Amino acid sequence: MTTPLEGRDGVQPLRESARRLREVRDEGRAAQFERHLGLLREAGETLSAGNRVDLLVDGPATFDAMFRDLEAARRRILLETYIFEGEHVGRRIADVLLRKRAEGLDVRLIYDSVGSFATPAAFFDELRQAGVAVREFVRLHGETWRKQGCEGEAGPLADIDAAAVTPPAPGERLVAVIDSAADEKTSRFYRVLLAAIAGATDTIHITMAYFVPDPQLLQALKDAAARGVEVVLVLPGRSDSRLVLRAGQSHYTALLAAGVRIFERQDAFLHAKTAVIDGVWATVGSSNLDWRSFLHNDELNAVILGRDFGRSMEDLFAVDLDHADELDSATWGQRGIGRRLIESFGRLWEYWL
């Protein structure tokens, strides 16, 4: 059965969809590709064809790409971010936005009031006064805050003249962009990730900044290891939230006993949120593997299907392993009682962390 794919002009004819799927299958690991393609279809996700995907491995590479795209904009800039600081990189981005607005572009910004709490109001006022449509997501009210959508005046978006827009050169990647909202009963991405883990036959390689698994995810990882899948986690050895770190570490004993291999990076603050499964299913996005991401946050993740991007992700995972230290059950079992107590306390609060 051929899975319909979305292209530039909507759902592609089955013959064209079949051709593109053959191209990706020919990259190798056809059986794994077919399995994960079917799992995405069963989850109700739509794959988009004709994408080019570049893997950005760190902050400098990501910001360089952002600045290139901002400078290349000719009609509209829509920017949404959790943290928008008024200094350093944030100031540079603001200067580009101001310049592009002065050139006549339609420039719009959504920032999160919690993530950008420390940014002076004057910073955003400067953008507003220059004509940038600035909106604050989840406005804070005193010491409490609630989800109430976007605040501020944005105005209607002008129609886009499709004939005047030159589309980028088409690529060959298959991508599902999965948005998950806090008001959903269960996270879309969480369902897709659990299905991919449950369907894994060879490898599950995860690099994650915040790891506080719920019982279902914890069991899925243990079950995968029990059926012979190589399950390897690269996790932070230090964090900006020690309680979150300890809550996650409270689960290490069970995972190690199940055969899951755990590595910790001590050399840097780990901010990655990535996974590659069976070498063909890969994801990069905003979701952490914790209760907050799956229950309380709005998140966005891209799932990329195909061997070549999967290989790039595996190469990056190998670099992470080279900079990480593996934990073993014997050494882990020797940690002190004080550490265990903090871990237990963290687990009591893990639903809200």
Band (pLDDT 50/70/90 cuts) for residue 146 is very low
At 58-92, the pLDDT tens digits run 889 999 999 999 999 999 999 999 999 999 999 99
Reported CATH class of domain 59-163: alpha beta
Q: What is the DSSP string of 168-220?
A: PPP--EEEEEEEE-TTSSS-HHHHHHHHHHHT-SSEEEEEES-EE--HHHHHH
For 6-52+173-348, CATH gives 3.30.870.10
Element holding 299 (H helix, E strand): strand 299-305
| Mean pLDDT calculated for residue range 295-322 | 94
At 106-122, the pLDDT tens digits run 999 999 999 999 999 99
| Mean pLDDT calculated for residue range 321-332 | 94
The domain limits of the chain are 6-52+173-348, 59-163
Element holding 231 (H helix, E strand): strand 230-236
Say if CB 5 and CB 20 are below 8 A apart. yes
| Mean pLDDT calculated for residue range 27-40 | 87
Q: What is the CA radius of gyration of the chain?
A: 22
Closest alpha carbon to 202 in 180, 236, 231: 231
Tokens of 75: 């009609």
Tokens of 138: 């989840």
DSSP H helices, the chain, are: 14-25, 30-42, 59-72, 88-102, 121-129, 188-198, 215-226, 242-249, 252-258, 291, 307-322, 329-332, 337-348
Pairwise pLDDT comparison (164 vs 335), residue with the higher score: 335
Say if CB 163 and CB 78 are below 8 A apart. no
Say if CB 180 and CB 194 are below 8 A apart. no
Three-class secondary structure of residue 117 per DSSP: coil
Pairwise pLDDT comparison (8 vs 62), residue with the higher score: 62
Tokens of 32: 């794994």
